[in-house]
Amino acid sequence: MVSNKKQKSMANINTKKGVIAILTGGGDVPGLNPAIRAVTIRANREGFQVIGLRRGWAGITEVIRDSKADNSNNYQLLTDDIVNRAGRTGGTFLHTSRTRPSHMAKKDVPDHLKDTYNADMNDLTPEVIKNLEWLGVDYLIPIGGDDTLSYGVHLYRQGVKVIAIPKTMDNDVPGTDYCIGFSTCVSRTIQMINTLRTSAGSHERLMVLEVFGRYAGFTAMLPTMAGAANRCVIPEYEFEIERLAELLIDDRNHNPSKYSIVLVSEGAMFKGGEMIFSGSERDAYGHAKLGGIGDLVSEKLKELSPAYNNGKTINIINQKLGYMVRGGDPDALDSIVPMAYGNLALDLILKGMHGRIVVLKNGRYDNVPIDVVTSSKKVVKVSEHYNTDRLRPYYHSFEMKPFLLMASDN
409 is catalytic: no
Is residue 44 exposed (0-12), middle (13-18) or buried (19+ Cβ within 10 Å)?
middle
Q: Shortest CA distance to 316 belongs to which of 249, 379, 246, 371?
A: 249
Cα(176)–Cα(186) distance, integer angstroms: 17
- Spot the catalytic one: 146, 170, 177, 334: 170
Phi-psi region of 207 (alpha: psi -120 to 50; beta: other; left: phi over 0): beta
Cα(1)–Cα(326) distance, integer angstroms: 25
Q: What amino acid positions are annotated as catalytic residues?
A: 170
